[in-house]
Amino acid sequence: MNIKKVFIIAFAVFTSILLTTCKKVEVPTQPTEVKAWQEGVSVIISWKSVKNATNYRIYRSATGKDYDIPIGTISTNSKYEFVDKNPLEGMNYYKVTAFNEDVESLEGGYATCNFSFTETNFVTINGVKWATCNVAAPGTFTANPEEVGMFYQWNRKVGWSSTDPMINSNGETIWDNSLPWGTSWSYNPSPAGFRVPSNSEFQTLLNKDKVTCIGTTRNGIYGRLFTDKTTGNAIFLPVTGYRGNSGTLYDVGIEGYYWSSTDLSNTSYGDAYALRGTNMFYCYETYGLSVRPVAE
């Protein structure tokens, strides 16, 4: 057998092995329709799914030039959305890439968000970051601090109108008198980055050594102004009233009622701590009260 024939046979064997062991690499396409927007103290990034991707990487840059380290990874089994809980003050530049077990997309989709820790989000009072507005519909704040927002039953994410006629955020009009489930508030109605405050967090607001409280009006609405003695930071809690077991309104324009996330698990009546004016009390969890959240 001559050298030429040996070379041809060897090349054929090598090619056959190569073809049987190598597979075609499917490079994911670039994510599209990337959007970023501020919600409370977080930034939400969303995008449209793309072909050949099993996961997505989210990058953040302060300059729009350096996207070296991803801040998160989302699988295709999740919704195509990521929550950046630690955004930068000012302009945030985001890049989303698609990848699979073989390769990452050559390019990414881009979006920006000009983030601001302003008083419309929260202020720190005695060490706790309080939102400056009540919760309106689930996941949203009221437009102004003096607005009551919607009423919520304990550990439920359905809001009820604070005025009559009574209707909830799902368009229903039948009040739910059943006892809410659980011993902790897991169905959070607050905007992203916020949650229902605990009893101990309300106690910091009621600490007379650290915080002053006065009755006052804002834009014609009566309420209480809580002010940090050291920093001067303040929040206004409007008087809200509440809805009782049947959904009937009580104390509208007279007193403010706000839920805490702390359940009284040692009772059989379904009670939780709530703020009434300037004191904490035990409240039936089937009642509808306002929510003034704290930042996480």
> What average pLDDT does the segment 267-293 reach?
91
Residues carrying CATH 2.60.40.10, the chain = 32-115
The pLDDT of residue 267 is above 60: no
What would you report as the CA-atom Rg of the chain, rounded to the nearest whole angstrom? 27
Burial of 139 (0-12, 13-18, 19+ CB in 10 A): middle
What mean pLDDT do residues 111-137 have?
Answer: 86
How do residues 60-116 score in pLDDT, each as one tens digit? 999 998 898 899 998 877 778 888 888 888 899 999 999 887 788 778 899 999 887
Residue 129, pLDDT above cutoff 80: yes
pLDDT at 119 over 50: no
Integer Cα distance of 239 and 83 in angstroms: 33
What is the pLDDT confidence band of residue 56, given thresholds at 50, 70 and 90?
very high
The per-residue pLDDT for 19 is 47
List all residues 6 or more positions away from 72 whose beta carbon is below 8 Å from its beta carbon.
57, 58, 82, 84
φ, ψ (nearest 5 deg) of residue 255 = -140, 155
Over residues 245-262, mean pLDDT: 96
32-115: CATH, from 3.50.50.60, 1.10.10.10, 2.60.40.10, 2.30.42.10: 2.60.40.10
Average pLDDT for 284-295: 96
Q: Which amino acid is at 224?
A: R
Residue 40's pLDDT is what?
61
Q: How confident is the prediction for the chain on average, in pLDDT?
A: 87
Asked if residue 9 has pLDDT above 60, the reply is no
Closest CA to 107 of 12, 31, 13: 31
Task: For Cα atoms 203, 198, 173, give the angle at the middle one, nearest 5 degrees.
Answer: 120
Q: Would you call 1 exposed, middle or buried from its count of C-beta atoms within 10 A (0-12, 13-18, 19+)? A: exposed
- Residues linked to residue 109 through DSSP beta bridges, in sequence order: 96
Please compute the mean of the pLDDT values over residues 4-11 and round it to a whole number: 50
* Averaged pLDDT for residues 48-61: 89
- Report pLDDT digits (tens) over 192-232: 889 999 999 999 999 999 999 999 888 789 999 999 999 88
CA dihedral 294, 150, 159, 191 (to 10 degrees): -30
Q: Which two tokens stand for residue 203?
A: 């106690």
Rounded Cα distance, 292 and 284, in Å: 18
The type of residue at 285 is: E
Instruction: Read off the pLDDT band of 137 (50, 70, 90).
Output: very high
The strands making up 234-238's β-sheet, listed across from edge to edge, are: 211-218, 221-228, 234-238
3-class state of residue 278 by DSSP: coil
Q: How far is CA 99 from the centre of its chain?
A: 27
Most confident of 7-16, 50-59, 205-214, 228-237: 205-214
